[in-house]
Copies of this chain bind each other. A is one copy, B any other.
């Protein structure tokens, strides 16, 4: 699109301003049509960031620029959900660094035009990964929820900070409402429980351990680990690696993380806890991590935990980042973390300062992660989330049944799924009839990475793989993408066979 083609220029922008056209305020349909079209068609090669608001008379240009960005994003969203589009246009890191078709990542002393920035936006999306694509199965956090997206756009526009009610009145109250709801679902008494949103599940897990340590040894806050006996963490052998990260960070040490055997479904039954802890003296506190939601949660043993990590950015499909740590005991997070900085948490404010929750955290500035979750909850209702997760469960069971019938696929654990993930190997014809042996496994180990590499290069699907203990690389299918349908599952199976049959 150039000046000639669209028939508009920056001069028109100024003319528009003179005519006092305000698209989003006007109720005159023709005026709206005109203004929107002008915005979308205007060429911005001669406009710069310094011409935008708060620059004087930058209003129309700001609208025009943002609408052009939104047009790029809407186009991307349309492509994301189109199963005929590629998930990614793969390039190696060095290719991106060298610059691809004029997409120059290097930073200069001088500004680029707004038109060039729009090209940069398009290129950024072009060389990225469509994590909302129906055939993106790569991560537990996947999918693109349109309501959550709208929530994130609004959050960015509000651009505030969760530390005080003073500057985030609506969002801090929304956090309170959400935490209460979540504690209720876990099965805790809402008035006695507490929590906080944190920048991800690993940090939430760290909080769980941090408050557990504080609960048993409050002197740690002032005097440090030097005054404590040796602290030991018991963790499922299938526990998330963030527990070890937290142990290293908190000064406990990874050697003091004791892995506990699980059953064949990787379950660590809560009834085992007393026996496990028997060789160690001293008190204990229990943390849990949860990706599940609502009906699934309440049937479990979550309420027995002293703290729970809940990641709405996983199965609930909330855009990343959205994670909460919840504690059964009120006041513990505050007591453990508060430092009462006088420049933020003044006691002589005009409102109830119990809503200045920022001092409960290990952060100072804190991104608003609650609004998108709140808006999605409004949009779906609690039942809507349940329906969504039930769909994943059905897809997992369907996938399991299809794989079971195919003799070139083998399940890592051969029983109907109790959750939304299904792990399996693909055997190319040359390996299919070879009995398990070290040599066979050495070959099998290479199959998943090779298929995955080809999938990425062709951009047809994305699926993760990993080894685990004595099990060589297997595919790890996880259903958490609302765009995925049975046809996509069928496609994936065909695609693995197509890419793998000659390996």
Contact = CB atoms under 8 A, between A and B. Distances in A.
Given A93-B165, A241-B339, A379-B48, A223 B253 contact: yes
A66 B150 contact: yes
A362 B206 contact: yes
Interface in A252-299: 252-256
Interface string A227-244: 110110000000011101
B50 A105 contact: no
Interface string A87-108: 0101111101100000001111
Interface stretch (A12-20, A188-196, A348-356, A436-444): A348-356
A36 to B, nearest CB: 4
Contacts of A27: 1, 5
B153 A153 contact: yes
A178 B97 CA distance: 12
Contacts of A223: 253, 255-256
Given A69-B154, A81-B53, A364-B202, A93 B355 contact: yes
B230 A253 contact: no
Interface string A131-150: 11010001101011011011
Contacts of A254: 221-222, 339
A395 interface: no
A125 interface: yes
Contact of A63 (B29, B74, B171): B74
Contacts of A251: 220, 224-225, 250-252
A365 B253 contact: no
Contacts of A111: 378-381, 383-384
Given A49-B146, A66-B77, 4 more contacts: A66-B150, A107-B377, A121-B150, A320-B365
Interface stretch (A425-433, A460-468, A494-502): A460-468
Contacts of A466: 342-343, 346
